[in-house]
A and B are shown apart, each in its own frame.
Chain A
């Protein structure tokens, strides 16, 4: 490396509409223009996909500084005293034009305006213009750009092309081919990101039709991303189709709790009802993608097997009665605590406080599945790292609670507190559960809740706020999108109540108060707070756990130190 230059070598200065900006070499004009606050409309270009340049919406005027062909000396313009710019008479595509030294771009010239009007008109002539019944209305690029860059009237008096209106491309995606503007984003996504090359065009010209290859279906676990990136209402989510106008929906940031990847999500709800979940861009975690399975998780909120009332011995009771029963059982001693890798950092902190107050160890249940190398990792708990960071556990969890089972058999444990974990799924037999009193805090009915002495219902991730630590040791927060069922207390309230009773110290149950304690007591989280955590998360110092043999394969933005065998198929 040479001595620090004033301008790093990989930065080039380009001029966009008269504004100079230094951008990394190779940045395309659309991205460079964004940096100076200039919007270049586009449909087919997507920052995470290859460039095909087929929509022609991003046409711009391009020029290069003039040099004398013989001497290579700059040609100056006597009128301005600056180097002359040779403007190319043909418009160029912004997406396919990369920044090079001295590149000049015009996005506001009459030629560019004419190009945009022309392309907009061409895109609309065979488009059904059924915005009033189209799901994309309100978040449709064609609608927005037509308003901003179109002529505002139609000169088309012919018959529009007729294409299939409701093709089921797969179990979750329905296609309206008439709305399709043939940008090929979905094709490129399937091929390049999902690695499932199922989509393609048939027929030619304006009759080109998007479809699946014969005998294939768009059924990979990332198929709904094609709906997100579709700039028009052609690809629609079969689940969300015709359910709600998007402008009525409220967006709440969330985290996909399926695995340790922690894909960032947007939860869309109205009046306490969730309608859909879409990815939230985080270039360090999930780019602009998320899995289909993660989008369907909101259905658990209204599931039939949801636990809605506190119970003692299977009979509904008042919340305070259930809590008292739980406290009495815990106070009686011989307690074992089973925490959860699905609990938030805050809940795990309280679980740890409870274990400390009762002077008992806590265990965790690990869930392992096949990673898909994309956004679902082998570690199917969203927050095992959180349990390590808060000190709830010090070693990696196991899939089976064998030591707890032997303790029960040996009669050392009389009461088991499970924070949302189904103990039978973790290897405890029904007979073993029958020997102890189980206190179950959970959201849904299962074998453990059936066998429990005391059941305290809790909230799903969509009904509470909190944070997770993902596989990169990135602390990410999620927020409450909808209120929980009537009568079900927040998990933090339930847990802090148990802690306060056991330790005889009042423990805060609100995120702000709780984080004051967390920041003070948990070293890796010192100085942090839930409120001030950035939307893209905060990476913690993970050196203390670097040597743990985590069961993780490669994902989109994560590479394990060494891949344990047979983790990825």
Chain B
């Protein structure tokens, strides 16, 4: 990644009168963590980075903006938002466009071709973690961890995030500016990471998910981080009626997780954020990737690729398969 090109482009973009801010990544507060950066002026572009630690999908901030009532006479800030987007992030942007969650003229996409991101917990587990800041870099084939003056070579598959191992679209599918060269796509694993689960019988799968969902603490980090979970009035927050009780138990937790999975069928762009942020380590990516694969295989539909596509759940073709309907 050419940081100079990134920062130059960013400076140009944020200097425009019609741009509110640019959302990108900056160094985090410890170890090799990174944090989202909201850059409002050209002087701050110096903090922008793009490294293998930029695993998070920042597209969620496009819809997380809080719209508070304004005093009479004041107008909402309608300026554009610029967004650094990897392949998966750009798919979220496209899907938001398809659903008209955002409008094309409101967003500027700074496309960042992505050679693959790390899983921080794998990195910390295998190579330790420090309070002192460190940095992970791409070195062509693998990663290099730069920590306290040492450079540690790390084999790619040791710490590669699962979503990246299974990635089919590492290059941005939509962009107004492209930083650097497109990367060469790699062969994703066939089974979307769910082969082992599919091999179990119905009871086996039930037991597996019972174990997982029982641990859910209902912090809703998966919902909030998801770029495509942006209903203004979420059923989870409804008190009258309470579609899903606030009580934390297997039944309510399952109702929550299954509802979310169904709401994302044909919409999930497999950025893996739900799984990354879950403090209970529930493998939510398995559910969503399974749904995505079903939709892909049965209907030949892959969300977040074509901004002019019709939303999957709102489209019907006479020859849609229906052999699974009892």
- Same complex origin of A and B: no
